[in-house]
Structure formats: structure tokens, C-alpha cells
Amino acid sequence: MSDSASKSGSYPSEGPSRVADRPRDFLRLAVCFIEGGLPADDLRLLEDYLRNDSANRSAFVRLCRIYIGVVEELKAESYLSASDSQRALTGAVMMPAMLHEPAANRVPPVGSNIPHSDSFALRAQADGNSTKPQNHFRNRIGWIAIVATAAIAVITALVLRGPFTPSSNNILLSSIHARWASGHQIVSGQRVPDDGVNLLHGLVEVRMQSGALVVVHGPARLHFPSPRQIRLAHGNIVVRVPHTIAGFTVKTKSANIVDLGTEFGVAVTSRKPTSAEVFKGHVAVHCAGAAKSGQSLRILHQGQAVRINRHTIQTAAFNPLRFVRPAAFAECIWAAAKAGTSSANQGYIRWKASSFAISHMSGLKCYYTFTPDPAQPNTLLNESTATFGRYNGRLGNPGVPNSSPTWRPGRWPAKSALQFSLTHHTAVHMRVGPHFVPRRAITIFVWLKPEDLAHTDHIINQIKPEDPRFNLCWLGSQEKPYTPNAIYFDWGTGRVISATVLPKISEWTFLAVTARPDRSVRFYVDGKLASVRPCPPAPKPQSMQLLIGAPGLLNSGTRSLFMIGRIGELGIFNRVLSAPEIRAMYRSGRPPMSNGTAGKQ
């Protein structure tokens, strides 16, 4: 103990006020009490100690705080060391700091003042040595006896108890194509065991004892230490917490996400920061390792997202497509029933959840999933929740035979698409008002499967007597006079053509175009940025008639420009989607490759 410390401090560490100098029995009783193990008789003794001496009360308060600190610090440390090499990193940081500390300020090793008998006992245990001679033979027999007794007791308990019944009250409501880690199989309606969920693949929905609803998207590993807490080791989860529960917390290795009455998603992947997004309400995100950085807390509101490292919280692009929300889960159950267990439908359920999320995204002007409605077989339904009931398309031209595109299987057998034909000049017709085409910013995305790569396919076009204004085309390899194997986009004031994009042969392709006046037009192919071009000024509003799968001029000269192939999904936003959003859209909607895999990244 240095003199300077004892002089300057408000906590005298020498003399009778030292916690370690309190009566030994008082300290034992205090620690027993704090850990919840003090019997009623001893409680009265502890009360006497506390009643009679103010220093004991002060020591008791400090011990309570030390207990919480020790427990939380050790648990945080064990979480870190279980998942990555953070522990080694911490050691590397701490050691030099300790070495460079002035000798006068250095605190002697804690525990060095533990009476010799106890310290000795601890060291002997850690080193595996003892000064007393050991009778190894007797020890071995003792251990065998203990193990045998324990085994008999366990077997007897299992036989008497019958089927395993875990103690938690968290129920697995339903699962879709769930594949569990060995020994972690749970069926719908069964309680989730205390060691939680270890899901290799698929989707499951868990109702927690507290009423919170959790959708887990495999692969994922998590457990439920209390009715209001989830510890997520890895995987994606979405939690919907009723308003009656406060402070529901999801803990990960780097963050605590505290609910404030809401629905939110958390994603943990190895070697990447924890991600958190808020779908409804708001949450408090607490960064575990940023105690002094000033960035330890962030309140997130609806539509916001962050990435949390060990020490910082960074704003991230809101990307709801990464998660399966409880409302989408119901859609997925319906889709699973339709798709069955066929491997050809792999990915269809995930797309269904993603499609549900897209239909709720902000700024969505129209969204066509190309799912036929048995009640209106000749209608292409707009499924955007914001504009539902408007902007529906009509298949074919009334009075013109065979002008309707036909329903065919899409990216999966369970999903449908429209087959367009050059022979029959098929198209979907739509009449829209002056505000349908956004003017401040726009994103168009489409899943299409061109069947003739030499041929130019018109995807969506405005009918206008002379000059098509709103126009998106795939330019074939025989295209003249424009760039072959490129994307043509006209927003109303002039054409913009992408750089050459490598064609694919008869595969589903995801095209996306984003544009903002006086900035840039960005062309994405299969989720990757393919080309950037300057953007012309914004168009003027006008009512228009649109065609899907046909050129804007329906005269004989343009008949060869009708689409040959299929379209499986199409949407228009009145904002510029970010690159991660477009990438997520592609990933969640990509079909299986011909070899049965989920397709390339």
C-alpha cells in the first residue's frame, strides 16, 4: 500500500475501514446472503452485525456491488472466449498497461492478503499439487464409486421420471423444414429445453413464458436464461415483445439489445459485428465493451439499424429482408404446405418470407409477385400493402385472341411466373394515373428468364404513339443500334444504357435499376452493381398506359420486340434502394441452381 494512496483517497484502505478487516464471520454471512444461500438463523446474526456497525454496512453495500460486477464481468468474458479470440486480445492490451504502471500506484496482487491457509489451499488446487502424500489408489476407487453411484442415480431417475420434461416454459409453436443439431430435436408443441435451441437449418417459432414471440432462422444457437432474456450465440432472430413486458433483453457477445415495447431483429454471424434492426417501436442498444468511449448506448427507432462491434455502435442500412418476422412466418407455413418437402422448392419458403417483407417496405409503389388469383385468373395483382387494390394489371388485350401470357412454373415449382410469347404478342396491360411513375427517385427490380439472348426483350414500357418514355429493356446480343447485352432505361427525359453485361443462358436473372435526377443511374445484375451512368432530369407527371412484356409501340415494326421468356417478380419503389437492400433481395429470391444448390452469391 503506497502512502500517497492512503493520504489522497476517500476510501481508506488501511485501518479498520478495510473490507477485509471486517469480522471474518460477518464477511462469510454477507457473501452467503448476497448469493442467496443464507439460512434464516444466520440471517439474524447478519442483521446484528449490520445494525451495530456502520463500517459493516458500508462493507456490505460494496460487497453487493462487487458481486454483481464479478458475475457480469466473468460471464461477458466467457461469452467472448467461447466465440473468438477476444480474450487473447484483451490480455495483449491489459498486460502492457500493467507493466507501464508507476510502481507507487501498483496495487499488490489481490488475494495476497488472504490468510495463508486459504491461499495455500487455492494454489494447491490449481496446480494439482499438495504437500500431503496422496493415496492415488484410494482416490481412484473413490472416484469409481462416485461415478458408479451417480450413473445408477441418473438411470434410476430417468426410469422413474419417464419421458424427458424440461423445466422451462418456452414452447416451440411451429417449425418449417427444421433440421436440428444432434440431440437437440424439438417437435411443435413441445417445451424448449433449458439449453435452448440449436438449429442447423429452417425456421422455428418459439413462444416464451413471458409472452414474447421469437422467430429463429437457422443456422442459429440461442438459449433462454430467464423469461425476459435471450442469449444469442449466432443466427438471426426476430423478437416481438408485448407491451406488457418491459426491458426484454437479447444479449450477444458484443451487445445488449433492450426492448422498449417493440418488434426487432438481431443477427450474429461469426467474424462480423452484431446487427440490430427495429421493425416497430424502439429499442436501446448497449455496447458491452464501450464503457468509456461515449458510444455505449444508442436508441433505435422504427426503420433504423446498427452494427455493434465490441467497442462501437455504427449506423447501418435498414434491411428488413434479412429477417423473417412473425407475421411473415404465417405466410411461410402456408407456403411450406404448398411446397411440400421437394428439394426443388428449396429457397421458396425463404423467398416467401422475403416477399412478405418487400410488400411492407417503405416507398413501394407497386409489387407483382406473379402469383395467380384463382378468383381473377386474368389479373396480375399488385401486392404492395401501400397501394393494394390499385395498379392491378390485365393479362392480354381484350378482343385479341391468344394475347394473354400464360401461367408457368417460376423459379421454383411452387412459384408461378408469366410466360411471354413473340408468336402471340402477349402482354400485361395497365392504366395508371399521373403519379404512378415516381419523379424524385426510382428503383425498378425484376426477376426474368430470357429464352433467346440474341433477342431484345421489353420488360415494362409506356404506350405512347411516337416515343416511349418510361421504358426498361434487356438488349439482346443482336441488338442494333444500341449496345448489345446491356440494359436500356428511359425514365421520361432520355435513354440511359448500361455497360455491357455478360449474358446468361436460360437462367433466372435479377435486374435492378435505381435512379435519382441529376445524380446517377445504377444498374445491378444478380445483386451486384454492373454499371453507373449519369442521370437525366426528372420526368413530368402524366397519366399513362403501361405494358409488361411488350414494346410501347404496338405497330407492325416493333412486333419483333415482344418478350420471349418469363417474368417472375417485378416492383417499383419511389426511392433509391441501397446496394445491401438489393443484394438481400437477390439472395432471398435466387432460385436453386441446376445442381440443386441455392445458387451463387
Which of the residues 35 through 54 are near other proteins (CB under 8 A)? 35-38, 40, 43, 46-47, 50-51, 54
Please, which residue, 14 or 373, has the CB nearer to other proteins? 14
CA distance 292 to 64: 23
Please, which residue, 26 or 356, has the CB nearer to other proteins? 26
Which residues 431-460 are close enough to bind other proteins by CB under 8 A? none
Stretch that binds other proteins, among 73-81, 174-182, 520-528, 548-556 (CB under 8 A): 73-81
Number of amino acids touching other proteins (CB under 8 A): 92
What's the min distance (Å) between Cβ of 169 and other proteins? Answer: 14
Please, which residue, 102 or 162, has the CB nearer to other proteins? 102
**End-to-end distance of the chain based on CA atoms, in angstroms?**
61
Please, which residue, 47 or 373, has the CB nearer to other proteins? 47
> Nearest 5°: phi and psi at 125?
-70, -40
Which residues 14-33 are close enough to bind other proteins by CB under 8 A? 18-20, 22, 24, 27-28, 30-33
Q: Which of 112, 129, 341, 556 binds other proteins (CB under 8 A)?
A: 112
Contact code string over 221-260 relative to other proteins, x by CB under 8 A: ----xxxxx---------------xxxxx--------x-x
SS3 25: helix
C-alpha cell of residue 332: 411461410
| Residue 89 binds to other proteins (criterion: CB under 8 A) | no
Degrees to nearest 5, angle at CA 52 with 50 and 57: 35
Please, which residue, 303 or 537, has the CB nearer to other proteins? 303
> Nearest 5°: phi and psi at 592?
-70, 150
Query: Which H helix or E strand runs over 337?
Result: helix 326-339
| Residue 73 binds to other proteins (criterion: CB under 8 A) | yes
SS3 571: strand
Please, which residue, 126 or 375, has the CB nearer to other proteins? 126
Please, which residue, 127 or 518, has the CB nearer to other proteins? 127
Please, are residues 436 and 462 in contact by the beta-carbon 8 Å criterion? no
Q: Whose CA is closest to 215, among 60, 322, 127?
A: 322
Q: How many residues in total does the chain contain?
A: 601
Which residues 123-182 are close enough to bind other proteins by CB under 8 A? 123-127
- Residue whose grid cell is 439472395: 587
CA distance 326 to 466: 49
Stretch that binds other proteins, among 104-112, 448-456, 484-492, 506-514 (CB under 8 A): 104-112
Please, are residues 322 and 275 in contact by the beta-carbon 8 Å criterion? yes
C-alpha cell of residue 64: 453487493
Please, which residue, 292 or 480, has the CB nearer to other proteins? 292
| Residue 59 binds to other proteins (criterion: CB under 8 A) | yes
What's the min distance (Å) between Cβ of 62 and other proteins? Answer: 5
At a CB cut-off of 8 Å and minimum separation 6, what does 553 contact? 463, 464, 465, 466, 468
Question: 449: how many CB neighbours lie within 10 A of its CB?
Answer: 19
